[in-house]
A and B are shown apart, each in its own frame.
Chain A
Amino acid sequence: MGQWIEVCAAGDIDAEDVMRFDHGGQTFAIYRSPDDEFYATDGLCTHEKVHLADGLVMDNIIECPKHNGRFDYRNGAAMGAPACVNLKTYPVKVEAGKVLIDTGA
């Protein structure tokens, strides 16, 4: 277990949207689902290292903005070509209106 790191205020991310978060030389994608749950994954698509935060969130899916690679951001599962490798996910919690992630570092 690493250290919880503050990302942003919960209200900074719209429902069914994603935000980029860079920390410690790593880039993450932070999601807010349509039912107001928060999730975090690696920020780059496993297909060709494109920032997922520029993509489209549809329900529980994040779609890469470049090649339509799709992942379930709740568990990182790749949903089909061209995304063939799962995304790494990270624990997220909301405390006092702030979104925190545990990068494991």
Chain B
Amino acid sequence: MNVIATPRDYGLLGRDAKLAEEMGLASAQWYQCPMPRKRLKELMQRRDAPAILDTVIWIASFLVSGGLAYYFWPTWAALPFFLIYGVLYGSSTDSRWHECGHGTAFKTRWMNDAIYHIACFMIMREPTVWRWSHTRHHTDTIIVGRDPEIAVMRPVLILKVISMFFAIPQTWGAIKSIVRHAFGRLGDEEATFIPEMERGKVYLVARIWIVIHVAVIASAFYAESILPMLFVGPLPTMYGAWVHVMTGLTQHGGLAEDVLDHRLNSRTVLLNPVLRFIYWNMNYHIEHHMFPMVPYHALPELHKDLQPYLPRPNSGIIDAYRDIIPALWRQRKEPDWHIEPKLPAGVSPVTAAAE
């Protein structure tokens, strides 16, 4: 059977933005699994220790991989260490940006803010812009015309998805955005989710970042070596992006748009401890969206509590991509088609706004 494709308008000022409001999908009430208040309070408790330990290991990993890459440069022996360094720089920063942006990774506020800004710089996500875009992403998750963080738009362009693994569209978009902001200009769509009082910070950070990037490029010219640019700047963001794109696409890839039930538009995948360290447990993504103030270190516990209400999680990356690749391939031609997760018996999904 042929499915007739419906053109989508992912712009935040476009037709589907208005349609989402008319349909009650904007800032709507989302389904939440039953969760006793006392238990949720336990799970939401903040702690510094897990994130401090992870951060010590994280920084040590940077120093060891970066140090060995520097030591072996310019021989091929440096390559595996750059690959590790790149994954730390361009991928592990995705989850640090994310968790610290939610303010849940550490109990101590300044620790969240410090790691947030460092991670933002490395992954080239402007801190104020992305704080607000992510706020919208949680309000209107995968609602067309409302969510500025829909990674794979439909109809799916496979070459674009492949290029995302090398952070090509993301980095190009970031460079254009940083330059625009450094000139004191905000995009029309950004203006829909960044309040007036926050915009000065956007411009200031863009200018600071440009100074840092120019200094790195100048140091490369001065040293007559590309080495400084392999350690800091867009290059490690790009050559190390593949792990965060691999894990990130599992979050919503191939699932429903325009629903008000995170079980239908988000995915939980069980991962090994190394990937969970890099990804800071964001593989428990349904759980995270349903209760975003539960810190990453408590998500495995939350997952256990919610299991009776959730679809079966994917057993790993390969299992997840067995679902995602055919779905994205099909969505090239059939953008209305999506994966329908099977909920436990007797549990009904919520697909529309309440009257």
Could you list which residues of chain A lie within 8 angstroms of chain B, going by C-beta atoms?
17, 47-49, 54-56, 58, 63, 65-68, 70, 81-82, 84
Complex contact A82–B135 (CB within 8 A): yes
In chain A, what residue has the closest Cβ to B197? A84
Complex contact A67–B195 (CB within 8 A): no
In chain A, what residue has the closest Cβ to B193? A82
CB proximity of B195 to chain A, nearest CB, Å: 6
Complex contact A63–B197 (CB within 8 A): no
CB proximity of B262 to chain A, nearest CB, Å: 13
Complex contact A67–B46 (CB within 8 A): no
Number of A-B contacts (CB under 8 A): 46
Complex contact B131–A82 (CB within 8 A): yes
Complex contact B131–A56 (CB within 8 A): no
Q: Which residues of A contact B349 (CB under 8 A)?
A: none
Q: Could you list some 9 contacts between A and B, CB below 8 A?
A: A56-B44, A56-B45, A58-B46, A65-B292, A81-B128, A81-B131, A81-B198, A82-B131, A82-B132
Complex contact A66–B131 (CB within 8 A): no
Complex contact B132–A81 (CB within 8 A): yes
Number of interface residues of B (CB under 8 A): 23
Complex contact A48–B139 (CB within 8 A): yes
Known: A67-B292, A84-B195. A56 touches B41 (CB 8 A): yes
CB proximity of B308 to chain A, nearest CB, Å: 21
Determine whether B90 belongs to the interface, using a CB cutoff of 8 Å to chain A.
no
In chain A, what residue has the closest Cβ to B102? A68
The 10 lowest CB-CB distance pairs between A and B, nearest first, are A68-B103, A56-B44, A67-B135, A82-B135, A65-B293, A68-B102, A84-B195, A48-B139, A81-B198, A84-B197
Contact of A66 (CB < 8 Å), options: B37, B104, B138: B138
